[in-house]
């Protein structure tokens, strides 16, 4: 397909007109940028006074104007035309990449290598990197959970952090009031989070999908406010301590409390404070592997197919007799449950939690992970979670710009590739002899 030859060959472009147009557009962009950024960026409030910082908006406006000028010129060159054509073609392509059943056997070796590296990494890492790895794993788990809701079922959940908080507080308060340990709290907190998801989701899921987004947003805020204000029960802003994990009753402390046996005594090895973190990491890794397996299988099962079908066309699904409320509810509760599990791990790894860990930015970060990973692609979500949590650790100097960059990335992704960086793959069922 030679688009440049058909639409406007470079020889026939009247460059003087194009140039004048580009200059006009650049000037308009410059004026607009100055109006937008001038007051907000250039005049800084300082008490009731103004600090004049005009040197800040001017470069921004100049960059925007120059960019606009170059883009206006570039779309008239053959290369620019071809790029525009490719861009539009990519946006029109279908969401799910269907691959033949014979493809993809090589990926097993990759999988094995990734698992082997993930299992050896914690034994080599320092304490700092171990905590980073645990955090990354928690976000992988959160990303996988939200991916079921947003990526597969197409329900935008903006209060996902609420279920994360339910899980975390489930462990901490369960230990405080009911004397639950880590392993007994894990399934209970997960079920509690799923229950919250069900109670919240059931009334809202019957309606137009957009309402869910705002209701979950409000719910995330309600949970945070309640945790913050209910001083007698949750400790309010002071937070609450969460118990450390145990391995069949073995504690990861130097000396055991209440007559227990510490892990290093039992195995006759030297005490190492990292053992606790390595153990959390390994348990988390197992759960993540389990989740990947479960989600991969679910996607090929009727309920998983119903999730994706509902995402693509709800009316058609209802016409085909799919109970849309129950199918959506199953995705929503499943996602909530995974969020609860991640919350339990977060609480036990931190040892102490308070409501500030569960604000809207956390929800937005998880949504960003799912969106950048390619709504629905498991590999993409894992890669995005690792990149978005480990990259900020490497770029500490730009930590303030993190949320800003997430916002810009989300908008750009929706314009450039609304289906995400990695397209989800789905195996085709090939029956030999039936189809020509």
Q: Are 278 and 130 in contact (CB under 8 A)?
A: yes
User: Toward another protein, which CB reaches closer, 71 or 294?
Assistant: 71
Contacting positions for another protein (CB under 8 A): 32, 35-36, 39-41, 43-45, 48-50, 56, 91, 95, 150, 154, 156, 158, 200, 203-204, 207-211, 213-215, 217-219, 221-222, 225-226, 229, 315-316, 360-361, 364, 367, 371, 375, 400-401, 403-404, 406-411, 413-415, 418-419
Q: Are 435 and 428 in contact (CB under 8 A)?
A: no
What is the nearest approach in angstroms of another protein to the Cβ of residue 41?
Answer: 4
Q: How many CB atoms lie within 10 A of CB 63?
A: 12
User: Toward another protein, which CB reaches closer, 129 or 202?
Assistant: 202
Q: How far are the Cα atoms of 121, 149, 155 from residue 292, in angstroms, in the given order? A: 20, 15, 20
What is the nearest approach in angstroms of another protein to the Cβ of residue 367?
Answer: 6
Q: State the DSSP code for 247.
A: E
User: Toward another protein, which CB reaches closer, 258 or 400?
Assistant: 400
Q: Are 390 and 62 in contact (CB under 8 A)?
A: no
What is the nearest approach in angstroms of another protein to the Cβ of residue 343?
Answer: 20
What is the nearest approach in angstroms of another protein to the Cβ of residue 216?
Answer: 10
What is the nearest approach in angstroms of another protein to the Cβ of residue 137?
Answer: 24
Tokens of 310: 């509902």
Q: How far apart are CA 129 and CA 68, in angstroms?
A: 42
User: Toward another protein, which CB reaches closer, 98 or 411?
Assistant: 411
User: Toward another protein, which CB reaches closer, 324 or 425?
Assistant: 324
User: Toward another protein, which CB reaches closer, 46 or 105?
Assistant: 46
What is the nearest approach in angstroms of another protein to the Cβ of residue 80?
Answer: 17
Q: Are 423 and 95 in contact (CB under 8 A)?
A: yes
The burial class, CB within 10 Å (0-12 / 13-18 / 19+), for 18 is middle
User: Toward another protein, which CB reaches closer, 350 or 357?
Assistant: 357
Q: Which residues contact 282 (CB under 8 A, 6 or more apart)?
A: 119, 122
Q: Are 182 and 344 in contact (CB under 8 A)?
A: yes
What is the nearest approach in angstroms of another protein to the Cβ of residue 393?
Answer: 19
**138: nearest Cα among 378, 374, 339, 375:** 339
């Amino acid at each position: 397909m030679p688009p440049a030859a058909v639409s406007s060959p470079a020889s026939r472009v009247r460059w003087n007109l194009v140039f004048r147009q580009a200059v006009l557009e650049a000037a308009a962009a410059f004026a607009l940028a100055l109006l937008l950024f001038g007051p907000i960026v250039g005049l800084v409030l300082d008490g009731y006074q103004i600090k004049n910082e005009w040197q800040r908006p001017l470069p921004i406006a100049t960059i925007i104007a120059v960019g606009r000028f170059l883009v206006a010129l570039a779309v008239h060159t053959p290369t620019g035309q071809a790029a525009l054509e490719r861009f539009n073609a990519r946006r029109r392509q279908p969401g799910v990449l269907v691959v033949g059943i014979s493809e993809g056997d090589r990926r097993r070796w990759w999988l094995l290598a990734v698992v082997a590296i993930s299992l050896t990494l914690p034994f080599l890492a320092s304490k700092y990197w171990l905590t980073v790895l645990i955090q990354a794993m928690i976000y992988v788990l959160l990303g996988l959970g939200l991916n079921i809701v947003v990526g597969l079922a197409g329900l935008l959940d903006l209060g996902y952090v609420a279920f994360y908080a339910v899980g975390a507080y489930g462990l901490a308060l369960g230990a405080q009031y009911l004397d639950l340990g880590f392993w007994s709290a894990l399934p209970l907190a997960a079920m509690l989070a799923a229950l919250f998801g069900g109670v919240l989701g059931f009334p809202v899921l019957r309606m137009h999908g957009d309402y869910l987004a705002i209701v979950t947003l409000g719910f995330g805020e309600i949970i945070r406010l309640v945790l913050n204000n209910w001083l007698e029960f949750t400790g309010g802003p002071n937070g609450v301590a969460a118990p450390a994990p145990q391995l069949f009753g073995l504690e990861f402390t130097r000396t055991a409390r209440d007559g227990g046996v510490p892990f290093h005594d039992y195995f006759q090895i030297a005490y190492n404070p990292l053992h606790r973190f390595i153990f959390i990491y390994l348990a988390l890794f197992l759960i993540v592997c389990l989740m990947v397996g479960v989600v991969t299988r679910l996607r090929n099962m009727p309920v998983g197919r119903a999730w994706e079908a509902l995402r693509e066309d709800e009316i058609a699904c209802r016409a085909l007799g799919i109970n849309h409320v129950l199918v959506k509810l199953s995705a929503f509760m499943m996602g909530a449950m995974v969020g609860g599990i991640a919350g339990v791990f977060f609480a036990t790894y931190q040892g102490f939690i308070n409501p500030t860990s569960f604000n809207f930015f956390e929800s937005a970060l998880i949504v960003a992970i799912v969106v950048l990973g390619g709504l629905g692609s498991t590999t993409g979500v894992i890669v995005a979670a690792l990149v978005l949590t480990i990259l900020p650790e490497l770029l500490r100097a730009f930590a303030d710009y993190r949320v800003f960059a997430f916002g810009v990335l989300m908008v750009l992704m929706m314009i450039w590739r609304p289906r995400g960086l990695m397209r989800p793959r789905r195996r085709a069922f090939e029956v030999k002899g039936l189809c020509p």
